[in-house]
A and B are shown apart, each in its own frame.
Chain A
Amino acid sequence: MKLRYTFKTAVLGLRAHKSRSALTILGIVIGIMAIILVMSIGQGAEQLILNQIQGFGSRTISVEPGREPKGPADIYEMFTDSLKEKDFKALQNPANVHGDNKVEPFVAYVDTVAYENETKRTNIYGGSKLLLELFDVYPDEGVMFDDTDIRQLAGVAVIGENIKEELFGESDALGKKIKIKDKTFRIVGLLPKKGRVMMMDVDDMVIVPYTTAQKYLLGIKHFHAILIQAETEESVPLAVEDIKRTLRELHGITDPDKDDFRVETMQDAVDRISIITSVLTLLLVSVAGISLVVGGIGIMNIMLVSVTERTREIGLRKALGATSGDVLTQFLLEAIILTVVGGIFGISGGALFSWLTALGLTHFGNLDWDFVFPLTAVFLGVGVSATVGLVFGIYPAKQAARKSPIEALRYE
């Protein structure tokens, strides 16, 4: 019998039990849908994070104290105070780090900001003018504090949109005095609404001179990070080398394994996040895959019932000239058609739900979330569902093919 007729026969066999077929494939529909949804959301999340990082600037290099942990004993090394003013000065020097680089010392912590009776717990950033350039945001009212303020440890602050709203509401904030710990800061600039940049919400920021933050707020002499913006994207690798050499010289380090700092480029961060999201996606896909196995067992179960129920039909077909191979192919095709149809519904459902998720996250989550529908997921979905049909359909199909015509015809 030609495959085309077998296919027709299989379709007819399934159509004879529409509601049972529909219920049978439900497991596959849900399994494939879950996989598609997870893959789509995984890629969407990765895209979102990458967009934010790239928004932060692919020229940005971050130098942080403490070496990359290579074992449990190294963890404490991550929290050292190895980056100080002299390091900052050295990195600023073009003789050390070549090119027209911008160097920005940086401290950050969480504290309560108070204005009269209003208080707000938020992120306090100590930086210089360059910090705003990195975030690509500039005051739309007032100005950013300058180098003089930094030298004088001035009590001045630039605040984000949300902080202004929370503390001042509709009234004017410029020139007002806020308190962090016991230190008074005069508001000199207001930032426009910006949203998140590299997972940091600009709207929730209070930015003060880093010198002021170090002395009055944190009581430390080191930095949490030194951010360097290389002249061009191409000069990043060279700058990284220069930074490492400069700091090693300055700290008297000869063995790179004993570094007391770590240098990270945006590319490193991109790579790392790609790995994390890939692993997470893989993990979730595996969980979703379990539901496919369950769905496959459901298919096998129903196919076995169907084979028993249609014993007489099998006997008849054999009596009319069907070979065991014909019967095997017919029942195997039924299983595969079931799962592939389930797969197609699953893909469509998965696409719909991930689109709705993207819509929801964009509108209500205030995220710049792109709907990503990976084409590989479509092929994967169809391929996986066909395989499930093949794997779980073979046993019932063999049972059907094995029946002797006379036993089958006698079956009541």
Chain B
Amino acid sequence: MPIIEIKKLYKTYYAEEVETPVLHDISFSIEEDEFVAIMGPSGSGKSTLLHILGFLDEQTKGSYRFNGKRMEDYTENEIARIRNNEMGFVFQAFNLLPRTTVYENVKLPLFYSEIPEKEWEKRVMEAIEDVGLGHRTHFDTSRLSGGEKQRVAIARALVLKPEVIFADEPTGNLDSKSGAKIMEILRDLNKKYGHTVILITHETSVAECARRIIQIKDGLVASDHKVKKRFDTRNGLNK
């Protein structure tokens, strides 16, 4: 059973009686353990698609099944719980809490989880080690570089070991070298721990780090193919 399955998905924004169709008739499914890049130029609707997949937004028409169950059939609290421990989010703008340490930021999802408090520290430390920030644990996040901030965000996304990690232009605000590091981490998470990773990007080099690329153009799936030769991140991304 695919973890994500969308069929004939439509999304239209309405602002002051002006209809803006963003997605029309999108269908695909993603299996567990996949590493998928959704690609497209800005305005193609790829962000909107990711938000719908991440239960942050709702489609106008069509069906979206997560773990086999239709989105409409989840209650509000179930949705909150799924966002909490089955999905992890990494945003382009990092979205860390200001004036707080790395440790506190990574701990945030645990507040809303069922995990007993005595396991929190172990979980947080593991996640921080996984992104290679052990030496920065008690740093205030404002003192970190952009790449380090994004790694904090990744640690936060994986602290509850979610099934799916969504990354919205995770390298968009980073230089080529830090971006490459982020992509290596995401690749490791997918390979070593079997997290399903879905990222969106408009950069080919980033997309080619994944194993499958879904091209979105003008709200439609333009192409959907496997990556033949995965991008080598050793010399940074092509910016």
Q: Spell out A's residues near B (CB within 8 Å).
A: 1, 5, 9, 12, 16, 312-313, 315-324, 326, 404-406, 409
Is the pair B112, A320 in contact by a Cβ cutoff of 8 Å?
Answer: yes
Residue of A16, A321, A324, A406 with most partner-chain B CB within 10 A: A321
CA–CA, A158 and B100, complex, Å:
80
B125 on the A face (CB < 8 A): no
Contacts of B57 in A (CB 8 A): 404, 406
Q: How many A-B residue pairs have CB under 8 A?
A: 57
Task: Provide the B49-77 mask, 1 if CB < 8 A to any CB of A, else 0.
Answer: 00100101100000000000000000011
The answer, among B85, B95, B112, for a CB contact under 8 Å with A1, is B112
Is the pair A406, B56 in contact by a Cβ cutoff of 8 Å?
Answer: yes
Is the pair B112, A312 in contact by a Cβ cutoff of 8 Å?
Answer: no
The answer, among B51, B84, B98, for a CB contact under 8 Å with A321, is B84
Q: Other than A312-B95, A322-B80, A322-B111, give 13 A-B pairs with Cβ distance below 8 A.
A: A1-B112, A313-B97, A317-B108, A319-B56, A320-B108, A320-B112, A321-B80, A321-B85, A323-B80, A323-B112, A324-B76, A406-B51, A409-B95
CA–CA, A326 and B108, complex, Å:
13
13 contacts between A and B (CB under 8 A): A16-B98, A312-B95, A316-B95, A316-B97, A317-B112, A318-B80, A319-B89, A320-B112, A320-B156, A321-B109, A321-B113, A322-B112, A404-B57
Contacts of B91 in A (CB 8 A): 409
Q: Spell out B's residues near A (CB within 8 Å).
A: 51, 54, 56-57, 76-77, 80-81, 83-85, 89, 91, 95, 97-100, 108-109, 111-113, 156
Q: Do most interface residues of chain A lie in helix, strand or loop, or is the interface mixed?
A: helix
Known: A1-B111, A5-B111, A406-B51. A320 touches B89 (CB 8 A): yes
CA–CA, A321 and B112, complex, Å:
6
Nearest chain B CB to A394's CB is how many angstroms away? 20
Contacts of B108 in A (CB 8 A): 317, 320
The answer, among A5, A12, A321, A405, for a CB contact under 8 Å with B81, is A321
* Residue of A with least CB distance to B83: A321
The answer, among A313, A317, A323, A405, for a CB contact under 8 Å with B77, is A323
* Residue of A with least CB distance to B97: A313
Shortest 7 CB-CB contacts between residues of A and residues of B: A321-B84, A321-B112, A323-B80, A406-B56, A406-B57, A320-B109, A5-B111
